Structure 1
């Protein structure tokens, strides 16, 4: 067990979560040890857990989601500091709740771009779960986002992104000058029926396909 385990993790975490987080800290330190130190891994894992806990994420999955969120942030941090662990452009899809539009965009982008790029999503006021109707309509397109979860803004993601897409929420305040920025004026699927959400999904898919082509990621 590395020296940053235990005490560096959230003091509010139940014992079972602390054990899971200790193991996650070891895995992440091994994975990112060539680009960041163990203290940085522990700090980012700690804050990921705390942020997701504050949102109200299902506690049964909280520790596992914290590890996933920390892995994204560490990947982005390495990229932002010129020590990228993955090549290709990085795209960040942002909206308020990170429960609908940005999750659909991320799902389509990952499907179309694959390993040729990195992509993340986040929200300024994340919900507790992805809209189940959004999950359903994406499944109709063969894109599985059932295991995705809303995530808050993270400085590492903002710094690392080459392209930042505002999904129509107007959440532009944290955007860093100098990055390519696009606004996609799309309606919010929250509270809408499945037919309306299908229309939003199709509009997002079209825009993502254009973005992927523009970035030279097709084929």
Structure 2
């Protein structure tokens, strides 16, 4: 049996989009896919509006802390999904990169964060279907 696929979500602060994506991937795929998230310039804490928006979905992000992006995290992941970190994300040969263009929820209220959350959920569902089909 092949090892389970691993996914790394990267955004600048690791406080919004990448936390939402990691939360959904872990919630929807369970132990079938290894989930990581990190930021090129991590914030002090996860965005409280993002935490509240995910709580509406039954996903608790209160224990999640933004983490610094490291080359090891990239090298040990099969798929690296960037969300607005641009040229700051390290690139390694042989890694699969996807760039998800998404609005940054930073500084926005719940009404603006919900559509971002829902779009990330749709993309994560598609990613899970693809990874588990190919695996």
Scaled by the length of structure 1, what TM-score is found? 0.58
Where does structure 1 lack aligned partners over 5 or more consecutive residues? 1-85
Q: Is the 8 A contact 1:87 1:117 kept in 2?
A: no
Instruction: Return the match for 1:158 from 74, 77, 85.
Output: 74
| Greater share of residues in strand | 2
Higher-RCO chain (CA-CA 8 Å, sequence separation at least 6): 2
User: Which whole-Å CA distance do the structure 1 matches of 2:80 and 2:90 have between them?
Assistant: 11
| Greater share of residues in helix | 1
Instruction: Return the match for 2:23 from 107, 113, 121.
Output: 107
User: Which whole-Å CA distance do the structure 2 matches of 1:139 and 1:213 have between them?
Assistant: 24
How far residue 175 of structure 1 moved from its aligned partner, in angstroms, is 2.2
Alignment of 1:194 with 2:110, yes or no, is yes
Residue deviations 1:2-48, cap 9 Å, x none?
xxxxxxxxxxxxxxxxxxxxxxxxxxxxxxxxxxxxxxxxxxxxxxx
How far residue 169 of structure 1 moved from its aligned partner, in angstroms, is 3.0
Q: Which residue of 2 aligns with 1:94?
A: 10
Residue deviations 1:79-127, cap 9 Å, x none?
xxxxxxx930000000100000000000000011111111100000000
Aligned CA distance change for structure 1 residues 189 and 158 (closer, same or farther; 3 Å): same
RMSD over aligned CA atoms reads 1.4
Instruction: Return the match for 1:134 from 50, 58, 71.
Output: 50
How far residue 171 of structure 1 moved from its aligned partner, in angstroms, is 4.7
Q: Is the 8 A contact 2:53 2:117 kept in 1?
A: yes
Q: Which residue of 2 aligns with 1:119?
A: 35
User: For 2:129, what is the secondary structure of its paired residue?
Assistant: helix
Scaled by the length of structure 2, what TM-score is found? 0.93
Q: Which residue of 2 aligns with 1:169?
A: 85
How far residue 193 of structure 1 moved from its aligned partner, in angstroms, is 1.1
- Which 4+ residue blocks in structure 1 deviate beyond 6 angstroms? none
User: Which whole-Å CA distance do the structure 2 matches of 1:204 and 1:173 have between them?
Assistant: 20
Q: Is the 8 A contact 1:92 1:164 kept in 2?
A: yes
How far residue 172 of structure 1 moved from its aligned partner, in angstroms, is 5.1
Where does structure 2 lack aligned partners over 5 or more consecutive residues? none
How far residue 189 of structure 1 moved from its aligned partner, in angstroms, is 0.3
